[in-house]
A and B are shown apart, each in its own frame.
Chain A
Amino acid sequence: MSPTTVIRGARHWRTGEPIDLAFERGVILDAVPARADVVVEARGAVLSPGLVDLHVHLREPGQGSRETIETGTRAAAAGGFTAVACMPNTDPVVDDIAWVEWVGTRARAVGRCRVHPIAAATVGQRGERLTDFLALRQAGAVALSDDGRPIVSAAVMRHALEYAGHAALPIVCHEEDLTLRGEGHMNEGATATRLGIRAIPAAAESVMVRRDVELAALTGGRVHFAHLSCAASFDALRDGKRRGLEVTGETCPHYWMLSDEAVATFGTDAKMNPPLRCESDRLATIEAIADGTIDCLVTDHAPHTADDKRQPFEMAPFGIVGLETALALTLTGLVRPGHVALARALELWTEAPRRVFGLPEVRLAAGSPADLVLIDPDAEWTVDPAVFYSKGRSTPFAGTTVTGRVLATFCDGEITHLDPVVGLTRVEAPAAAVAAAR
């Protein structure tokens, strides 16, 4: 027995117009009925299609001490996400249909949002033999990636792009020339020089972006560039788009919020790969988002245990969490300073990523899936990792005051998150429906 839910007094994310909306059995109704089981008083909050994150590490199978599908999707719901695509660099690597199906099954059992598995592009992510692209797609994979590692061999990358055409799947590229990266642990520049930390030049990323733009041209293949972080990479992507190639790209909040100087202050909480770059790269990230070079935003949510992150800098693993701060950092770092409008910022987290991976559309219209998020774009709050739902707590934004808060998330018509702090949202009986969602 699916309850009828009504959201009353919201503002449309694109037009800003008042909107009331009802849904039942996970589908938006064509009119708001007179009677409802649950009424959410939005009080002018912004109603948007649920956010989508094409780049998260849910760490299952095999790395449950860092994150699980249950905790990761709970964090996603808290961040306003109704769908995530999860990376296959787990233990074991998700490189066959059994593990793709397992991720899907597990997510349906314990997940708080839709989970779209990304399968490895090569067996064991070793960059040698291609995985069974068509079977993987059949099993539910939405993309192919060796994320965490580059596909070192240009020939293997070429063949992957050619063959992926049969499966109509994008190859998501973690771009990193391993010889240029060497033993580096942070961006090359004054801060690394001062701290004596072995450094990674930005060119370690951009030379591979250049290479794969050329391979996209050679093969006509569909390349999606993961977590781009520097001006030269944006230039390469811009160039590829100008040439009409099937290339898209994503970037993450930390690249527009921080430069590598943050490492001196936040230590391993500012250690991720690609690393925080220099100030001009940070500004170039904002420019690439504003001018449309970047197609969508992602978190690269990469949780680790506290013990793993609490080590001397070079000994700690790469990766920070991002699901629960992404929207606020977008509003704080992009919308408030006027780099992009609110509607465009939300598009980059909603329609745009769905388009990039070909996921089902979500609109605020009858018949659409009820994957929704209610946002207070003006609420200020201070990031406190202690209250994260994610098992990962490492973030350089701890203690940062940000603007923009997720009030409620609805996935497939279920309430998957209700803000416990701000309390702008009131839900009326029956209490059972709310309790079940908590």
Chain B
Amino acid sequence: MNPSSPSSALTPPGAGRFATRSGATHLLGLEGLPREQILAILDDAERDLARLQKDRSPTDELRLVTVVIAMFEDSTRTRVSFQIAAKRLGATVSTFSSHGLSLSKGETLRDTLRIFEANGADVVVVRHASPGAAAYLAEQIDSAVVNAGDGMHEHPTQGLLDLMTLRQAWGGSFAGRRIAIVGDIAHSRVARSAIFGLATVGVAVTLAGPATLMPAEVERLGGTVAATVDEAMEGADAVMALRIQRERMEGGLLPSFAEYARVWGIDAARVRRMKPDAVVLHPGPVNRGVELAPDVADGERSVILDQVANGVAVRCAVLRRSAGALAREAA
């Protein structure tokens, strides 16, 4: 909280949307987020999804709410998903994009975010290349902060949409299920959020991937490490393949896409090792023929497009939660 920020200095507490919003509900990560809260967000998101499938006209639930989407790192997919979610709920949405350069210094980062706050941002959705950036901003400004990805750390709305997709595929329950997560665990905020969230709702996690992309002591996050993809997928209820970045080839972390595809790529034969109703997830965009064989990416077990649709619904639920009292006032 920052008592000297222009907004709180000029307006008395409780004076409406420009006042200090003490007790702002941030979403900084899934680590430590209680099970009931995760399930409540998923339940809300299911209602949003049901409504969105019937009627795409905006509601006025967040008509008092200004959402700033601040992308300090390029991400078309996440940006678009948040924009659509905010607009579906009738919020005022402003998007800011800057990829490093003048904003590489934290001082400037803080100042920039304070400008959003002074402009009346109730919720700031932030994507930044530095781990902990979202938590840092939550300390610096009074707006509610939603982490849209902070470096390799977390991407909690992705984790929530993965949970939502799995619960749908598994008939509404996480009980007794196990998922294999395959690929570049080390650099993946998607994997971290998934592992934290899955552990909280009681899903067993098996990790597999090249040793160069497996972070130190990863078991302590909650999960076991399998020696091979086949071992990880054997009898699993789902598999999540992670995206491989081309730059991993440059630092000696991986020999080639071809080698990766052969050893760690998921093809139809590997999918058959899982349970008959098991599903295939991928945060996208898919390197076809690398992480997933094309017939797996587009196959009947793939729920990749469900993940995208669920993403908008989950972000509706998260924005409503972060808008807090302002959303309720309008509703």
Contacts and interface: CB of A to CB of B under 8 A. Distances in A.
A190 B217 contact: yes
Interface string A197-212: 1110000000000000
A196 B189 contact: yes
Interface in A41-93: none
B90 interface: no
Contacts of A313: 130-132
Interface string A375-415: 00000000000000000000000000000000000000000
A196 B192 contact: yes
Given A307-B107, A310-B106, A314-B151, A193 B215 contact: yes
Contacts of B104: 315
A195 B107 contact: no
Interface residues of A, number: 21
A194 interface: yes
Interface in B132-172: 132-133, 136, 150-154
Interface residues of B, number: 26
Contact of B220 (A182, A188, A194, A316): A194
Contacts of B152: 196-198
A195 B132 contact: yes
B221 interface: yes
Given A196-B151, A196-B154, A196-B192, A314 B217 contact: no
Interface in B184-224: 189, 192, 215-218, 220-221
Nearest to B185: A193
B127 interface: no
Given A189-B216, A311-B136, A316-B106, A194 B31 contact: yes
Nearest to A311: B106
Given A307-B107, A311-B136, A193 B130 contact: no
A266 B221 CA distance: 20
A367 B130 CA distance: 57
Contacts of B153: 195-197
A189 B215 CA distance: 8
B26 interface: no
A307 B109 CA distance: 12
B315 interface: no
A189 B216 CA distance: 5
B150 A196 contact: yes
Contacts of B109: 311-312, 315
A188 B216 contact: yes
B217 A193 contact: yes
Contact of B130 (A189, A190, A194, A315): A315
B88 interface: no
A192 interface: yes
A192 B215 contact: yes
A267 interface: yes
Contacts of A199: 215-216
Interface in A161-191: 182, 188-190
A330 B215 CA distance: 34
A189 B31 CA distance: 17
Contacts, number: 71
B132 A193 contact: no
A176 B192 CA distance: 29
A372 to B, nearest CB: 43
Given A196-B153, A196-B189, A198-B152, A312 B136 contact: yes
Given A310-B106, A314-B151, A315-B106, A197 B131 contact: yes
A267 B136 CA distance: 10
A312 B106 contact: yes
Nearest to B151: A196
B21 interface: no
B243 interface: no
B38 to A, nearest CB: 18
Contacts of A192: 215-216
A35 B110 CA distance: 62
A201 to B, nearest CB: 8
Interface in B103-123: 104-107, 109
Interface string A123-146: 000000000000000000000000
B216 A190 contact: yes
The residue among A192, A267, A311 with the most chain B CB atoms within 10 A of its own CB is: A311
B321 interface: no
B131 A312 contact: yes
A259 to B, nearest CB: 13
A310 to B, nearest CB: 7
B128 interface: yes
Contacts of B106: 307, 310-312, 315-316
B220 A190 contact: yes
B152 to A, nearest CB: 4
A182 B252 CA distance: 12
B216 A312 contact: no
A60 to B, nearest CB: 23
B286 to A, nearest CB: 23
B190 to A, nearest CB: 11
25 contacts: A190-B220, A193-B215, A193-B218, A193-B220, A193-B221, A194-B31, A194-B192, A196-B131, A196-B151, A197-B132, A197-B151, A199-B215, A307-B106, A311-B105, A311-B107, A311-B136, A312-B106, A312-B128, A312-B131, A313-B130, A313-B131, A313-B132, A314-B130, A315-B105, A315-B130
Given A189-B216, A193-B221, A195-B153, 20 more contacts: A189-B217, A192-B216, A193-B220, A196-B131, A196-B152, A196-B153, A196-B189, A197-B132, A197-B151, A197-B153, A198-B131, A307-B106, A307-B107, A311-B105, A311-B106, A312-B130, A312-B150, A314-B132, A315-B104, A315-B105
- Please provide the 10 A-B residue pairs with the shortest distance between their CB atoms, ordered closest to farther: A311-B106, A196-B153, A196-B152, A190-B217, A193-B215, A312-B130, A196-B131, A190-B220, A312-B133, A312-B136
Interface of B: 31, 104-107, 109, 128, 130-133, 136, 150-154, 189, 192, 215-218, 220-221, 251
